[in-house]
Amino acid sequence: MPDVIMPRLSDTMEEGELSRWIKQVGDEIHKGDVLAEIETDKATMDLEAFDNGILEQLLVVTGALVPIGAPVARIGDGSNIVADGAEPAAPAATPAPAVPATTPDASAPAPSAPAPSGTSDPATSATPTGELRTSPLARKIGREHGIDLHSIVGTGPQGRITRTDVDAAIADRETGTPTPTPTSAPAAQPETGAAAQSATAPGATATSATPSSGATPGGPRTATDSVAVPVSRIRAVTARRLTESQAVPHFFLTRIVDVERLVAFRTEVNASLTALGTKVSLNDLFVRASAMTLRAHPAVNASWGAGVILRHPHVNVGVAVATDDGLLVPVVVDADQKSLSAIATETRALAGLARSGNLSLAQMSGGTFSISNLGMFDIDSFTAVLNPPEAGILAIGAAKDVPAVRAGALVTVPMVTMTLTADHRVLDGAVAAAFLRDLAILLEDPLRIVL
């Protein structure tokens, strides 16, 4: 019977964290039973059994990061049960061992390496493939430069470490930038002291994990009293994605919008919606206005796609939500087709799901543009980092009263500063500027937003 393997649960997933075992060794398993919960870079999902039988062995401990395709458990007829007395959660300070716990050569001391059983056939006691997936060229370059490949996360097919990844690790070491992705943090890593270098990044750095280059000049230096804070998967993925995003050539355009009528309009709309129990926020108006403007500017509703520009038929607007675990961007699908109240209701529901950790993968997928609003923190203006592969993200500041002359009198008018970050491979300045101009015009004439 085949081993239960870590499935690919999302397009961008490279590994999954086995966050909780639901079935235990010895349990009878039926096809479709949920064996465990897997936390991917996007969401927590169920790991289902594809076979009937007895759960004979757990091959990874709770909290382990397991590459796609690697076995996590064994289901059989019950004759090869490997008693796994202790299946403790990985120590709290451990982001997660990079390899299944039974790998003998893992840098991490396995908290619960199963004892060899009396019935051991060589296959079951052998390394259950915690091996790194790397290209030969990556290994060769790694050897030549003293890079420990365990300190790198591969971006190739099925997470394979390729030349690009090793070259990036070498470049990071030379510039003193810690590798942005966690892998081989020792399981028993203390929270302070020698391991403190990982404080600046989720996990060990290339340098710290490389035995032969302990004294690499230019390696990261941090104060010895820094505290290593373990990070969630969301934070680790955010770190990696945003680092990738910085490779995108981008530019910023800023525009100040008069929101006097927008604010008044919102008050008026909410008064009429009171009976329905729905409330519309300024942000909802920005989502709806952006979606309508994107529909009119298909060049902005696009992505760079390895040599071509992909124009997207749907206008799906992501709304950045801060959660305790990190930033999430739920997506309002077809936002240009939805009414203001529908957008308000949906955004509120999605934000709630995001904060409670129940956002599904689908609800975070397929965005074509994002909006980040820090108005509630009274931020005047800011720039947002692109959310690849989207070509644009709009950063919205707080409405501020600004002096203005109206009908000969000095009055104060609420103004919002919004800044568009654009992927220059997809958009040129004039195209992005036209988009921002039309968005501003729409916001200043809010009745058109609901037409």
Partner 1 sequence: MTTDIATTRTITYRQALNETLRAELEHDEKVFLIGEEIGVFEGSYKITAGLLEAFGPDRVLDAPIAEEGFVGAALGAAMLGMRPVVEIMTINFSLIAIDQIVNHAAKMRSMFAGQVSIPLVIRMPGGGGQQLAATHSQNLEVWYAHIPGLKVVAPSTPADAKALLTAAIRDDDPVIFLENLSLYSAKGEVPDGEQIAEIGKAAVVKPGTDLTIVSYSRGTTTALEVARQLEAEGLSIEVVDLRSLRPLDRDTICASVQKTGHAVVFEDDWLSYGIGAEISATIGEGVFDFLDAPVRRVAAAEVPLPYAKSLERAALPSSADLARVVREVLNLAPVSSASIDN
Nearest-5° angle of CA 432, CA 427, CA 302? 100
Which residue type occupies 5?
I
217 lines the binding site for partner 1 (CB under 8 A): no
388 lines the binding site for partner 1 (CB under 8 A): yes
In the complex, least distance from residue 156 CB atom to partner 1, rounded to whole angstroms: 5
423 lines the binding site for partner 1 (CB under 8 A): no
Pick 244 or 378: Cβ nearer partner 1: 244
Active-site residue, selected from the candidate residues 150, 312, 314, 424: 424
Q: Both ends of the chain: CA-CA distance in Å?
A: 60
Bridge partners of 322, per DSSP, are: 327
312 included as an active-site residue: no
139 lines the binding site for partner 1 (CB under 8 A): yes
249 lines the binding site for partner 1 (CB under 8 A): no
Q: Applying CB under 8 A, which part among 174-182, 230-238, 298-306, 336-344 lies near partner 1?
A: 298-306
What are the C-alpha distances in Å from 65 to residues 49, 99, 257, 340, 388? 19, 7, 46, 41, 24
User: CB–CB of 383/419 below 8 Å?
Assistant: yes
321 lines the binding site for partner 1 (CB under 8 A): no
In the complex, least distance from residue 318 CB atom to partner 1, rounded to whole angstroms: 8
Using DSSP, state whether 447 is helix, strand or coil: helix
138 lines the binding site for partner 1 (CB under 8 A): yes
Q: Applying CB under 8 A, which part among 186-194, 268-276, 344-352, 366-374 lies near partner 1?
A: 366-374
Strands 331-332 and 4-5 turn out to be unpaired
In the complex, least distance from residue 348 CB atom to partner 1, rounded to whole angstroms: 22
Among 107, 181, 198, 303, binds partner 1 (CB under 8 A): 303
What is the per-residue binding string for partner 1 in 153-192, x denoting contact by CB under 8 A?
Answer: --xxx--x-xx-----------------------------
In the complex, least distance from residue 380 CB atom to partner 1, rounded to whole angstroms: 29
Instruction: Determine the Cα–Cα distance for residues 265 and 285; give it in Å rounded to an integer.
Output: 10
Compute how many other C-beta atoms are within 10 angstroms of the C-beta atom of residue 18: 26
User: CB–CB of 165/139 below 8 Å?
Assistant: no
Pick 249 or 305: Cβ nearer partner 1: 305
Strands 392-396 and 369-373 turn out to be parallel
372 lines the binding site for partner 1 (CB under 8 A): no
Residues 6+ apart with CB under 8 A from 394: 286, 290, 369, 370, 371, 372, 384, 418, 419, 420, 421, 439
366 lines the binding site for partner 1 (CB under 8 A): yes
Residues that bind partner 1 (CB under 8 A): 11-12, 135-140, 155-157, 160, 162-163, 303, 305-308, 310-313, 364-368, 387-390
Active-site residues, by number, are: 424
